[in-house]
Amino acid sequence: MPVQKIATSAIIIGAGPAGAGTSFFLSKSGIPHIVIDKDKFPRDKVCGDACSGKTVLVLNRANPAWMEEINSRRDIFLPSWGITFNAPNGKGINIPFTPQWSKEMKPAGFTVTRFVFDDFLFRKMESPYARIFEEAKIDNIKTSDTGVSIQVTCGSVEYEITAPMIVGADGDKSLVRKTLLNNNTSAKTYAVGLRAYYEGITWPNEDQFIELHFLEETLPGYFWIFPLPNGMANIGVGIPSDVVRSKKINLREQMLAAIKNNPAIAPRFANATLKGKIQGWGLPMAGEKEVLSGNNFMLTGDAAALIDPFSGEGIGNALYSGMLAAEAIQKCREQNDYSAATLKREYDDVLYKRLGNEFRISNTLQRLSRRKWLFNAVINKAHKSPALRDTISSMFADMDLRSQLRKPSFYFRILFNK
Ligand SMILES: Cc1cc2nc3c(=O)[nH]c(=O)nc-3n(C[C@H](O)[C@H](O)[C@H](O)COP(=O)(O)OP(=O)(O)OC[C@H]3O[C@@H](n4cnc5c(N)ncnc54)[C@H](O)[C@@H]3O)c2cc1C
């Protein structure tokens, strides 16, 4: 059968949050593009299933009706109002995402299984400007002076697709990254995580905040309990790979031991049932300034290693980087220039200007959280001080305030009541 040739303005590899985010904003600008995924949707993705304010922000920018839909479908999307931090000494603090909150307000975030959420995003890509290939195999990616050419097999048909630009939105094991980003095949900081679904765990109160348990044995990573609709919960553990290697940690054993023996956790699982398998996957964490693009290509989401190094959140950053990638493509089209220098200016520099401070703060927090005593001391103080809890709560929305977390003086004042 002859190879079918298609020319388009942009090729996106991967239809997860990063690819969908890119597609939404290309369609908004009327830019024709092709999205290719190796899987058929709906499909699972190992994740904690917690979506933060950045996910809400990008979806609202793409189409405010989508957030209305999410907020009205409590059967599959559970609103999220805050977070509980539990220190290694077992003490916990509840921090709402906004200091004065009520369930009448629009929630700052939500939880939803990735099986449901990624399919929701996938269906929203439908547009006259987007052509989508599922269950497609990429046989080859080549760049030339005029752009990119890829060979794809989908069903029994072979395609040769050409475009001036390719977006790598193909996740942690990105083929685009491996093929086009010379000498740079993986994130500098890396974590590994396990995820399990449980039914029937109990909750300390009806607020059902998402819970991070910084157990002594998981530091600087954490064990999480995230509520989902219909009495389900997403349970997992994520730890930096260097710590897993150096301490020879068996993640699965550690997670099951916490569920069985930890005095703050085990009683809540007394009548709970594991649903399905415990599964693992990698988390490529954001550095402070990495290369994210080159001649005729950009990397987004996990392919660009944009997961928050402290919280482990990557869905919001994947969508956000997709939005910025689409804006950069529009600028490149206006200038008819897809060179590495232009992409660095229009994409890498813009992304680090917007997210760089967040990454710096989270990298600092990740380093500090290796110190158990400091963690215990801060949570102890916050436990006693409503004012400190309000400050931490305000940090979710206020970046200037959050910058305080990088300063030793912040911890000095907390520890010594200055
Ligand atoms: C254990 C764990 C827990 C996590 N918990 C959270 C959390 O609670 N909240 C949060 O915000 N983030 C969390 N993350 C991070 C989050 O899952 C990722 O950051 C997010 O999925 C990144 O989105 P993406 O679109 O870049 O990549 P992905 O979601 O991985 O999507 C990539 C897509 O590309 C496709 N693809 C891959 N290779 C190819 C190929 N060769 N050809 C065609 N298609 C291809 C895949 O099929 C997939 O659909 C967690 C991660 C892990 C591992």
pLDDT digits (tens, 9 = 90+) for 67-122: 999 999 999 999 999 889 888 888 888 888 887 888 888 898 999 999 999 999 99
For 352, the 3-state DSSP assignment is: helix
pLDDT band at 393 (very low <50, low <70, confident <90, very high): confident
- Report the half-sphere exposure of 378 (CA within 13 A, side-chain side): 20
Locate 128 and state its tokens: 């006259």
pLDDT band at 159 (very low <50, low <70, confident <90, very high): very high
pLDDT band at 2 (very low <50, low <70, confident <90, very high): confident
- Strands annotated E in 337-384: none
The best mutation among 45, 125, 218 to test binding of ligand 1, ranked by most ligand atoms within 8 Å of the C-beta, falls on 45
Residues in the chain: 418
Confidence check: pLDDT of 365 > 70 = yes
For 247, the 3-state DSSP assignment is: coil
| Smallest CA separation from ligand 1 atom 33, residue | 14
Distance from residue 21's CA to the centre of ligand 1 (Å): 13
pLDDT band at 236 (very low <50, low <70, confident <90, very high): very high
Least confident of 118-127, 312-321, 326-335, 388-397: 388-397
Of 294, 303, 40, the closest CA to residue 168 belongs to 303
If you average pLDDT over residues 33-49, what whole number do you get?
A: 98
Alpha-carbon gap, residue 366 to 307, rounded angstroms: 12
Q: 393: part of which helix (H) or strand (E)?
A: helix 386-394
Tell me how many degrees the CA angle 56-403-302 measures, rounded to the nearest 5. Answer: 45
| Smallest CA separation from ligand 1 atom 39, residue | 170
Confidence check: pLDDT of 185 > 80 = no
Give 250-273 pLDDT, tens digit per residue: 999 999 999 999 999 999 999 999
- Locate tokens 């157990």: which residue? 215
Alpha-carbon gap, residue 303 to 16, rounded angstroms: 11
Q: Which amino acid appears at position 277 of this protein?
A: K
Domains of the chain: 4-48+117-187+287-365 (3.50.50.60), 56-108+189-285 (3.50.50.60), 370-416 (no CATH)
Instruction: Return the pLDDT at 96.
Output: 87
Top mean pLDDT of 99-103, 133-137, 363-367 is at 133-137
CA-CA-CA-CA torsion for 251, 252, 254, 260, nearest 10 degrees? 160
| Smallest CA separation from ligand 1 atom 35, residue | 14
Alpha-carbon gap, residue 357 to 403, rounded angstroms: 8
| Smallest CA separation from ligand 1 atom 7, residue | 48
Instruction: Return the pLDDT at 186.
Output: 65
Instruction: Return the pLDDT at 189.
Output: 79
The best mutation among 39, 228, 315 to test binding of ligand 1, ranked by most ligand atoms within 8 Å of the C-beta, falls on 315
Output the average pLDDT for the chain. Answer: 91
Confidence check: pLDDT of 418 > 60 = no
Distance from residue 336's CA to the centre of ligand 1 (Å): 31
Of 5, 386, 333, 355, the closest CA to residue 159 belongs to 5
pLDDT band at 63 (very low <50, low <70, confident <90, very high): very high
